C-alpha cells in the first residue's frame, strides 16, 4: 500500500511539474506535445489539475461567489423583490 501511495505521488508530481513549470516560454509538456504534434500531455496535466486551474482562473478574473450573484441579480429583470435584495444592496452600498 505504501508503494502505491509513493508511486501515485511521484506520478502526480511529474504531471504537475511537466505542465506547470515554464521552460522557454512554454511548459515542458507543451514543448513535448509540439514536437510530437499532439496535445495529450498538456491535456492530461489540465485534466488532472482541473480544480487548481479553475480556482486560479477565478482569482485571476476577480470573480467571487458574491460578485457572480451580484452580476446575476443586476442582469435579471426587475420584478417583485421577495428576498429584499434591493434593500440589502442599498445597505451594503452605504457601508
> For the chain, what are the domain ranges?
1-61, 64-95
pLDDT value at residue 62: 64
**Among candidates 61, 41, 38, 37, which has minimal Cα distance to 49?**
41
Q: Is 23 helix (H, G, I), strand (E, B) or coil?
A: strand
- Give me the mean pLDDT over the 34-52 stretch: 86
Q: 53 phi and psi, to 5 degrees?
A: -70, -30
Question: Do residues 42 and 29 lie in contact, with contact meaning Cβ atoms separated by under 8 Å?
Answer: yes
At how many degrees (to 10) do helices 2-20 and 28-36 cross?
80
The percent of residues above 90 in pLDDT, for the chain, comes to 13
pTM of the predicted protein model: 0.53
Amino acid at each position: 500500500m505504501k508503494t502505491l501511495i509513493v508511486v501515485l505521488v511521484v506520478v502526480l508530481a511529474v504531471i504537475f511539474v511537466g505542465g506547470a513549470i515554464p521552460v522557454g516560454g512554454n511548459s515542458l509538456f507543451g514543448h513535448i506535445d509540439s514536437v510530437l504534434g499532439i496535445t495529450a500531455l498538456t491535456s492530461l496535466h489540465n485534466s488532472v489539475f482541473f480544480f487548481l486551474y479553475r480556482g486560479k482562473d477565478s482569482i485571476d478574473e476577480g470573480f467571487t461567489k458574491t460578485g457572480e450573484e451580484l452580476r446575476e441579480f443586476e442582469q435579471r429583470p426587475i420584478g417583485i423583490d421577495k428576498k429584499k435584495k434591493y434593500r440589502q444592496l442599498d445597505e451594503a452600498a452605504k457601508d
